[in-house]
A and B are shown apart, each in its own frame.
Chain A
Amino acid sequence: MKEEEIIRIENLNKWYGNFHVLKDIDLCVCRGDKIVICGPSGSGKSTLIRCINHLEEFQEGSLIVDGIEINKDVKNIEKIRSEVGMVFQHFNLFPHLTILKNLTLAPMLVRKKNLKEATEIAMQYLERVKIPEQAEKFPGQLSGGQQQRVAIARSLCMEPKIMLFDEPTSALDPEMIAEVLDVMVELADSGMTMLCVTHEMGFAKKVADTVIFMEGGQIVEENEPNMFFNKPKNERTKLFLNQILTH
């Protein structure tokens, strides 16, 4: 089966003021790929995936998502964003809306679904993240792990082609990380295209097709997980792995 390309990033450069955050990034993602991006903080990994749905602008290079080139003048940025789900470190649920409304809002406004359809889809995804009984509660009444699962469900309700995860477990208590990772593993098994910035190396080993290591705004190593963890090509990768895996 010929793999279908869904994201192509070429020679992408980004600056915050004079600070060069992303340097000559090249990356190609095919439909169904699961990519884990790791690296020390400040290495530009979050910035990179935030460029993909244009939460960040970049100054040089090209970025094509699902056949549409993303640049400064992109007209239908909402259209692209509706096809790319994003899960944030701090969940970013809408605190003034119930869980169900958090889930049905965008499908109704963007996908023009009616309340009944949207509710059906929402309940289906809440079942999938295993908290349908919380539908009428408000985000503030849920635990961190539950909120993050709602956030994942909220993105999935838009039935996106790509899911971006920006350190989804970094703000969670240790006991809650597992419940979120379970949902992500299940999602990966269902064939979703996923880009995850995470420090959960167990998750990377389990589901990733490709692991990317970034440092100083560059992609240092791009490798398949087995090789990445056992025989890294770059010595910087090796140092990083030593530091995070020995403790």
Chain B
Amino acid sequence: MAMEKFIKKPDRKPPKLIQSGPISWLLKNMFSSVTNSLISLIAILLVIQSVPFLVSWFLVDATWQGENRAACVENSGACWLYIREKFNLFIYGFFPKAEYWRVNAAAILFFVLIAPLFFKKFNFKLKWGLSVMVLYPVLTFILFYGGVAGLEVVETNKWGGLMLTVFVAYIGIIAAFPIGVILALGRNSDLPIAKYLCIGFIEFWRGVPLITILFMASVVLPLFLPEGVDLDKLMRATVGITLFQSAYLAEVVRGGIQAIPKGQYEAADSLGLNYYHKVSNIILPQALRIVIPSLVGTSISLFKDTTLLLIIGLFDVLAMVVATSADILWLGFEPEGYVFVGIIFWIFCYTLSRYSFKLEEKLSFKKN
């Protein structure tokens, strides 16, 4: 008797949805139940209430042209002249006008240096990226501070605005990263001394608010330094922020390390890899991928936390609102200032967050 043959049936496309069109979409997505309908109605009401007001304040009734504040009086909307007038202060702080080009050069340098990372064919991405990460802040500092190659010295108390915010946040994030990784590894270590030192360090810095750390760095620390030793205030604050951030990063990285299955350690061990090889080739590459969202999250937090520098007398971009609105000629434009600074912060944070999504997608383990 001939045996039955297995015949594979051809694949078909899934059936088309029978109901389509705007009415059925609305019914399905906005008014599928009483609660949903209620929520939809409230949401629509809120949009109707707020959007026209915002549009008129931001755009329609806003003042875009004119010489001085008198031009703003007639219009009920935002007075963007104030931003135009104070724009340089927001970006460069009290940096001497003649030296603005140094800040611009630093910004351009950044994009030039990271440009190779966007080329597919470039084979040394990791090495290049790491070198840029480490070298860039050094170059920037030299460029900002000057004192070499005929550059005039610009004391750090003249730094301010967005350049200060970005500089401090950049150093805080980059310098804290290796420290955080080492702390995380230390906390997971079998060596009791290393382990408890790391736990102590992490818990100390995480337990203290950043504002306290900044105060300590600017007010208390100088009391303990020997006479004549004068550490720059900005440097003290940056070190404080870095250590604070490293403790948070350590906990994020530790979360990633603990998510790596035991089997990965055992496989690495059974192949005879030593601790260094195991951590750098097997554990960290996987752990860091897992925690990219949290890493970027803490970085965004830190970026926003730099606004606390105001309380120790450093004028970051947010503090410039306070500083500029004290100008007698331009009194009372804080709302515009805060909105403007808010937009700047949002652009930076949103870029970071999009970048993290991209990175996550690119580095996710290929499956199927």
Interface residues of A (CB under 8 A from B): 53, 55, 78-86, 88, 90, 92-96, 105-106, 109-110, 137-138, 140-141, 154-155, 158
Which secondary structure characterizes the binding site on chain A? mixed
Q: A154-B271, A158-B271 are in contact. List 18 more A-B contacts (CB 8 A).
A: A55-B270, A78-B274, A81-B270, A82-B271, A86-B267, A92-B261, A92-B263, A92-B267, A93-B267, A96-B285, A105-B271, A106-B273, A109-B273, A109-B277, A109-B281, A110-B272, A141-B367, A155-B270
Determine whether the beta carbon of B365 is less than 8 Å from that of A138. Answer: yes
Q: List 18 A-B contacts (CB under 8 A).
A: A53-B269, A55-B266, A55-B270, A80-B272, A81-B269, A81-B272, A82-B272, A85-B270, A86-B267, A92-B266, A95-B365, A106-B271, A106-B273, A110-B271, A137-B366, A138-B367, A140-B366, A141-B366
Q: Given A81-B270, A81-B272, does the pair A141, B281 have CB atoms closer than 8 Å?
A: no
Interface residues of B (CB under 8 A from A): 261, 263-264, 266-274, 277, 281-282, 285-286, 289, 365-368
The CA of A55 and the CA of B368, in the complex, are separated in Å by: 32
Q: What are the residues of chain B within 8 A of A155 when measuring CB–CB?
A: 270-271
Q: Quote the shortest CB–CB distance from A136 to chain B (angstroms).
A: 10
Q: Quote the shortest CB–CB distance from A134 to chain B (angstroms).
A: 12
Q: What are the residues of chain B within 8 A of A109 when measuring CB–CB?
A: 273, 277, 281
Q: Given A96-B289, A138-B366, does the pair A88, B271 have CB atoms closer than 8 Å?
A: no
Q: What are the residues of chain B within 8 A of A158 when measuring CB–CB?
A: 271-272
Q: Quote the shortest CB–CB distance from A140 to chain B (angstroms).
A: 4
The CA of A186 and the CA of B114, in the complex, are separated in Å by: 51
Q: What are the residues of chain B within 8 A of A95 when measuring CB–CB?
A: 286, 365
The CA of A79 and the CA of B289, in the complex, are separated in Å by: 30
Q: Quote the shortest CB–CB distance from B263 to chain A (angstroms).
A: 4
Q: What are the residues of chain B within 8 A of A140 when measuring CB–CB?
A: 365-368
Q: What are the residues of chain B within 8 A of A92 when measuring CB–CB?
A: 261, 263-264, 266-267
Determine whether the beta carbon of B367 is less than 8 Å from that of A94. Answer: no
Q: What are the residues of chain A within 8 A of B267 when measuring CB–CB?
A: 86, 88, 92-94
Determine whether the beta carbon of A81 is less than 8 Å from that of B271. Answer: yes
Q: Quote the shortest CB–CB distance from B268 to chain A (angstroms).
A: 8
A85's closest neighbor in chain B, by CB? B270
A-B contact count (CB 8 A): 72
Q: What are the residues of chain A within 8 A of B263 when measuring CB–CB?
A: 88, 90, 92
Q: What are the residues of chain A within 8 A of B277 when measuring CB–CB?
A: 109-110
Q: Quote the shortest CB–CB distance from B275 to chain A (angstroms).
A: 9
A53's closest neighbor in chain B, by CB? B270
A79's closest neighbor in chain B, by CB? B272
Q: What are the residues of chain A within 8 A of B270 when measuring CB–CB?
A: 53, 55, 81, 84-86, 155
Q: Quote the shortest CB–CB distance from A5 to chain B (angstroms).
A: 22
Q: Quote the shortest CB–CB distance from B106 to chain A (angstroms).
A: 35
Q: Quote the shortest CB–CB distance from B84 to chain A (angstroms).
A: 50
Q: What are the residues of chain B within 8 A of A90 when measuring CB–CB?
A: 263
Q: What are the residues of chain A within 8 A of B367 when measuring CB–CB?
A: 138, 140-141
The CA of A79 and the CA of B274, in the complex, are separated in Å by: 9
Determine whether the beta carbon of B272 is less than 8 Å from that of A94. Answer: no
Q: Quote the shortest CB–CB distance from B109 to chain A (angstroms).
A: 32
The CA of A144 and the CA of B294, in the complex, are separated in Å by: 32
B272's closest neighbor in chain A, by CB? A82
3 shortest interchain CB distances as A-B pairs = A82-B272, A92-B267, A140-B367
The CA of A242 and the CA of B17, in the complex, are separated in Å by: 57
Q: Quote the shortest CB–CB distance from A174 to chain B (angstroms).
A: 18
Q: Quote the shortest CB–CB distance from B312 to chain A (angstroms).
A: 43
Q: Quote the shortest CB–CB distance from A82 to chain B (angstroms).
A: 3
Q: Given A92-B263, A94-B264, A95-B286, does the pair A105, B272 have CB atoms closer than 8 Å?
A: no
Q: What are the residues of chain A within 8 A of B274 when measuring CB–CB?
A: 78
The CA of A137 and the CA of B273, in the complex, are separated in Å by: 23
Q: What are the residues of chain B within 8 A of A154 when measuring CB–CB?
A: 271
The CA of A140 and the CA of B11, in the complex, are separated in Å by: 25
Q: Quote the shortest CB–CB distance from A73 to chain B (angstroms).
A: 14
Determine whether the beta carbon of A110 is less than 8 Å from that of B273. Answer: yes
Q: What are the residues of chain B within 8 A of A53 when measuring CB–CB?
A: 269-270
Q: What are the residues of chain A within 8 A of B272 when measuring CB–CB?
A: 78-83, 106, 110, 158
Q: What are the residues of chain B within 8 A of A88 when measuring CB–CB?
A: 263, 266-267
Taking a contact as CB atoms closer than 8 A, the residue among B281, B286, B289, B365 that contacts A105 in the complex is B281
The CA of A83 and the CA of B266, in the complex, are separated in Å by: 15
Q: What are the residues of chain A within 8 A of B264 when measuring CB–CB?
A: 92, 94
The CA of A85 and the CA of B267, in the complex, are separated in Å by: 10
Determine whether the beta carbon of A141 is less than 8 Å from that of B282. Answer: no
The CA of A137 and the CA of B270, in the complex, are separated in Å by: 23
The CA of A106 and the CA of B282, in the complex, are separated in Å by: 11
The CA of A104 and the CA of B186, in the complex, are separated in Å by: 29
The CA of A137 and the CA of B366, in the complex, are separated in Å by: 8
The CA of A96 and the CA of B289, in the complex, are separated in Å by: 9
